[in-house]
Structure 1
């Protein structure tokens, strides 16, 4: 049976979406092509009608997950006053809901270590999406120059993702909750001094007489 181009695109998207969830749940090497295709309701033999290789599917699945994460942050930012955007994103990320649902959460804590051992092509694709995520978070720190905001965003993301990994290792009890709280506090405490410095600079600039 010959399928329309639209049907093939829909099937392709379904495979990527399903694989994205499963890879975050099981890891890049924790599930095979046959299982991924079965999840999508297809046979193993149909795989190469959609992808050149397993790496190609992994890259698309990673990309899908990273794009969803960045889009989630963007929506949170749009719904929040500028001065609360960073805190809102951090609170959402370092939450028990996110901790307990890795299959629909950020791809980096679940797959980052494995990506580092993947092919250069896969690492390059992942790095590009990571940079987009950093730039998106940096945009939520308008008080700082772009370079400084980007540096702070890198530190925040590193802390957030490391915190989530540790919280998942600790399970879902009080100890895990403590780790999440400590991570939130660390990220926001780092952001607070930068805001104070930016505010002082703005006040100083406003108080300086203009030279003619």
Structure 2
């Protein structure tokens, strides 16, 4: 009995990982249950042993991807400069399926796709709180403003760099945004008493 429960849990994790990757790469609406199950190496028939429907799968896959993303952010070096160094890279730009959930699925969630929207909203709050706690600034209000602005700039830069068909411009967007964020942090830190 334990072995079959462990196997079921392992299969469920494979499905969630495949769904998280495919949803980020292609969008939730563009991916069918059969696509996810095929990517997980399983048949379509086994899907309903794990999830009630595609919306349930999407909600859980997004929640899991956000948890992994949050854990990676909090386990790395603290602060906005460290996040910018890791986030604004060509590797991250090119790894849509394993990259930032917000950059990949944010516009789809904003257009009304409810799957995962609540989880994404909570993750936004958590990420801003985490970044604000380590941000340079004299007051809580200033640190929060820096966190919101910096993270928004990073997500926007990643999206723009992915859209650009010009490889040079794509790299420039990442490089210049990272440079600007780092210079802002240095400037603010220098102003601290």
Give the match for residue 52 of structure 1: 52
1:100-119 alignment runs, 5 A limit: 100-119=94-113
Deviation at 1:114, TM superposition (A): 0.3
TM-score (normalised: structure 1):
0.81
Deviation at 1:31, TM superposition (A): 1.2
Deviation at 1:24, TM superposition (A): 1.0
**Distance of aligned partners of 1:137 and 1:56 in 2 relative to their CA distance in 1, 3 Å threshold:** same
Asked whether the 8 Å contact 2:63–2:120 carries over to 1, the reply is yes
Give the match for residue 167 of structure 1: 161
Asked whether the 8 Å contact 1:159–1:183 carries over to 2, the reply is yes
Give the number of the structure whose alpha-carbon radius of gyration is greater. 1
Deviation at 1:92, TM superposition (A): 0.9
Q: Distance in 2 between matches of 1:76 and 1:123?
A: 26
**Distance of aligned partners of 1:172 and 1:96 in 2 relative to their CA distance in 1, 3 Å threshold:** farther
Q: Distance in 2 between matches of 1:154 and 1:58?
A: 26
**Distance of aligned partners of 1:60 and 1:172 in 2 relative to their CA distance in 1, 3 Å threshold:** farther
Give secondary structure in 2 for the equivalent of 1:4. helix
1:68-89 deviations in Å (ceiling 9; x for gaps): 22222222226xxxxxx42121
1:165-209 deviations in Å (ceiling 9; x for gaps): 111111472111111112113323333343233x22xxxxxxxxx
Deviation at 1:129, TM superposition (A): 1.4
Deviation at 1:146, TM superposition (A): 3.4
Query: RMSD value over aligned CA atoms?
Result: 2.1
Structure 1: 4+ residue segments shifted above 6 A: none
1:95 maps to 2:93: no
Which 5+ residue runs of structure 1 have no aligned equivalent?
Answer: 79-84, 201-212
Which 5+ residue runs of structure 2 have no aligned equivalent?
Answer: none
**Distance of aligned partners of 1:121 and 1:25 in 2 relative to their CA distance in 1, 3 Å threshold:** closer
